[in-house]
Amino acid sequence: MYRVSVILPVYNASETIDRCIQSIIDQTFKQWELICCDDNSNDNSLTILKQWQKRDNRIKVLYNEKNCRAALTRNRCIEEAEGEYIALIDDDDYCVPDRLEKQIDFLDKNLEYSFVGTQAFFFDEFGVWKTSKPKENPTKEDFLWNSCFLNPSVMFRKKDIDKVGLYRVAKETRRGQDYDLFMRLYAQGYYGYNMQQPLIYYYRGKNSYVKCKYKYRIDEAKIRYLNFKKLNLLPKNFLYVIKPLIVGLIPIKLLEKKK
């Protein structure tokens, strides 16, 4: 039985998927399985995944007959997982060699936490432009501003995310499924921690949030409202519910200047 199952949703990632998978192959911890699910890509991502599967029997490849988006695709992978732990990674990101080893060691020794994230090197086509440093020990109030965890850096105890029902598949979680899951975990008494070292390279354009479509800001407001209620953060903090809607009304040029 594998100790950790690495979950990899893939969509049109033919230019980045080799780097991502190679970073798992190169891990110092070897008792892993990698479960990939191609979300009906229209490039040759699936072909590349099958080539990797032939090279290493720890790699399993699934395929969606239609595009299902990240939440359902991740759930498919998790349902197939054999590991005690579930590690996330995205198809355009990659890990430092001892990522799995360090996160497994942390969860083995700190039973009070259900999941653990890390810091990350943010990079784009020009290279690393920032080291993101999420709060070490977030409380529920820290979710008011934004997510407290970098999704592709997180490792869960599988039994705990099974208990909360995995990722929620809904219209409003087509983009913010990770933010939604973290708050649902906290609402049910499962807490996370952020290791204070960067263990992944996270592809992130400098103005990715600024350029977010307004329909996704509406989705985020819905996610905030539903989960802030569960966390007993309302009505006192209602202004944080509509924060993405307000930001979406500010001209992009002004937001880019603030960056």
31-45, pLDDT tens digit by residue? 999 999 999 999 999
Q: With 90 as the cut, is the pLDDT of residue 1 above it?
A: no
Q: With 90 as the cut, is the pLDDT of residue 247 above it?
A: no
Q: Which amino acid is at 17?
A: I
What are the structural domains of the chain? 4-208 (3.90.550.10)
Q: With 50 as the cut, is the pLDDT of residue 259 above it?
A: no
Of 190-204, 208-222, 235-249, minimum mean pLDDT range: 208-222
Rounded to 10 degrees, the C-alpha dihedral 77/9/74/161 comes to: 90
pTM of the predicted model as reported, rounded to 2 decimal places: 0.94
Cα–Cα distance, 121 to 123 (Å, whole number): 6
Cα–Cα distance, 128 to 12 (Å, whole number): 23
Q: Is 144 helix (H, G, I), strand (E, B) or coil?
A: helix
- Beta strand 155-157 pairing with 115-124: antiparallel
Average pLDDT of the residues of the chain = 94
Q: With 50 as the cut, is the pLDDT of residue 258 above it?
A: no
For 59, counting Cβ atoms within 10 Å of its Cβ (0-12 exposed, 13-18 middle, 19+ buried), the class is: buried
Mean pLDDT along residues 150-179: 96
Q: Are 12 and 80 in contact (CB under 8 A)?
A: no
User: What pLDDT was estimated at residue 213?
Assistant: 84
User: What pLDDT was estimated at residue 98?
Assistant: 98
